[in-house]
Amino acid sequence: MKLHYYPETDSLYIELSNAPGAETREVAEGLNVDLDAAGNVVGFDIDEASAKLDLSKIETIALPPAHAAE
């Protein structure tokens, strides 16, 4: 997962997969979800992110350990 902040548009993109998006759906005002060709979620775009979120810190809780490449 990757977080991308774009200050010029004040948007935060949460990338869940590097698969190309095939469709974007607005699920709430200012919140869009990108889907791949199979309908799987590949990312979320949050408009006016700094007004909706505290972007000064990122906190992770109980993530599973990273697995070594096989």
Residue 70 above 70 pLDDT?
no
- If pLDDT is split at 50, 70 and 90, which confidence band does 66 have? confident
pTM value is 0.84
Rounded mean pLDDT of the chain?
A: 92
Q: What is the pLDDT of residues 14-48, one digit of tens each?
A: 999 999 999 999 999 999 999 999 999 999 999 99
pLDDT of res. 46: 98
C-alpha 10, offset from chain centre: 14
CA separation, residue 31 to residues 37, 48, 62, 66 (Å): 20, 10, 25, 29
Q: Give the domain ranges of the chain.
A: 2-52
